[in-house]
Amino acid sequence: MRILHVIDRFDPATGGPPEAVRQLIRAAGARVEAVCLDNPQAEFLGGIGCPVHALDQSHLGQFAFSPRLGRWLDRNAGRFDGLVMHGLWSYPGLAVRRAARRAARPYGVFAHGALDPWFNRQYPRKRLKKQIYWPLQYAVLRDAAAVFFATGTERDLAKTSFQPNRWTSVVAPLGLVEEQDGALDPAGEVEAFYRAWPALRDRRFLLFLARLHEKKGCDLLVEAFARVAPLTPQLDLVLAGPDQAGLQAKLERRAAELGVAGRVHWPGMIGGAVKWGALRACEALVLPSHQENFGVSVVEALAAGRPVLVSRQVNLWPEIANDGVGLAEEDTLAGVERLLARWCAMPADERAAMAARARPCFEARFSLAKTIAVIETALAHR
C-alpha cells in the first residue's frame, strides 16, 4: 500500500513521535511519503528515507493551524491507499479526516500516548481545554479505520480519559530499524562517544536518554542517584537529551547541593555514532518517567544489548520484567532510589546475564515488519 504519514513536526527535539515515524518509514521503504509543518531547509529532514513535503511553520502554536496543509491534503490524499496521522489535539488531525473522507480513503491515527489519563491529572487546566475540544478530536478518532496504540496498556488507559470513547483500537508495537549503510562497528561507536566525553572513559555509568522534562522523572533520578552514590563511588550518571523547558540548570544546581555534581554529566542531545556509543558503553539505560506510552530509547538500549531500568509508568515495563532484561519500580523518589539500589546491589554475573538477554528480547518483540503489516491490514479492511 502507498501510505502518507502526517506529523506536525519532524524535529527530534520534540520527543519520541518524530523518531517513531522515521522508523516506520524506514521499515516501509519506498512505498510511503510524509508531510509535515517544518521549515523545508531544516537539517533534521535529511535522510528520512522517503519524499517529505515540508510546508513550513503553522499558526496558533501547538494547535498547528495550517491552511497550506489542508489544501495540500485535499489535492494529494487521493494519490494514496491510506493516510496515517501521528498525534492528537491539533489541526492536522482534522485536516486528515476531512481530506480522507473527500478522497474516499481510509485513515488511521497513532495516539503516541496523548490519551494517557496522567496528563489529565497532572494538568487539570489543559484537561478543561481538551474537554471543550473533545467533540472535534473524538470525530477524528471515531471515523478512523484504526486508532493505533503502541501497547495494550496504552490502549486500555486511553479509554479512561474522555467520553464518548468508541473507536477501533489496534495495537501496533513500535520498534527500530537499525542503520546499515555507513554505520560504524560497535567498537567504533563506543570510541566516538568516549572521544566526545573522555571523562567517562574509565567510569561505569547509567544513561538517561530522553528530553529533560518533568514528565521523564529527571528530578527524581538526580535525587535518587545522590542517595545511592556513596555506596557505588565508581558509578556516574549521564543525562543526555534536549533541554526545552530550561530544566537542566535547576537540576545541575540540585546535583551540586547534593554533592554529586562531578559525577553527573550533561552531553545535551546526542545522535548518530555518539548516541549508539553511549548506549553500548553504559551499564544500563534508566528512564523513570511518570508517563511513557512506549519509550524509543528503551528499544534502542535493548538493540544495543543493554538492560533497562524503568518506572512502572513506562508501558513496556511488563515485557521488560517478563523477559528479564531490566528492572521496574514506581515513579516516586523511593521507587527510583530502590530501582538504582537494586541494580547496584546486583552481582556482576547477574547484570551480565541480563545484558545478554537484551538483544534477543529486541529481536523477538520489536520487528517493525510486523507493525507495517498491522497498519496496512487495518487500513485495507476499512
**pLDDT over 50 at 244, yes or no:** yes
The predicted pLDDT at position 181 comes to 41
Rounded-to-integer distance, Cα 36 and Cα 22, Å: 12
Instruction: Answer whether CATH 3.40.50.2000 is correct for domain 186-365.
Output: yes
Q: Percent of the chain having pLDDT more than 90?
A: 86
pLDDT in tens, 152-166: 999 999 999 999 999
- Domain boundaries, given as residue ranges, for the chain: 3-175+367-380, 186-365
pLDDT in tens, 298-343: 999 999 999 999 999 999 999 999 999 999 999 999 999 999 999 9
The predicted pLDDT at position 179 comes to 62
Mean pLDDT in the chain? 94
Domain 3-175+367-380 and domain 186-365 have a common topology: yes
CATH class assigned to 3-175+367-380: alpha beta
Rounded-to-integer distance, Cα 80 and Cα 105, Å: 8
Going by pLDDT thresholds of 50, 70 and 90, the confidence category of residue 182 is very low
Q: What is the mean pLDDT of residues 24-31?
A: 87
pLDDT in tens, 58-96: 877 789 999 999 999 999 999 999 999 999 999 999 999
**pLDDT over 70 at 382, yes or no:** no
Q: Percent of the chain having pLDDT more than 70?
A: 98
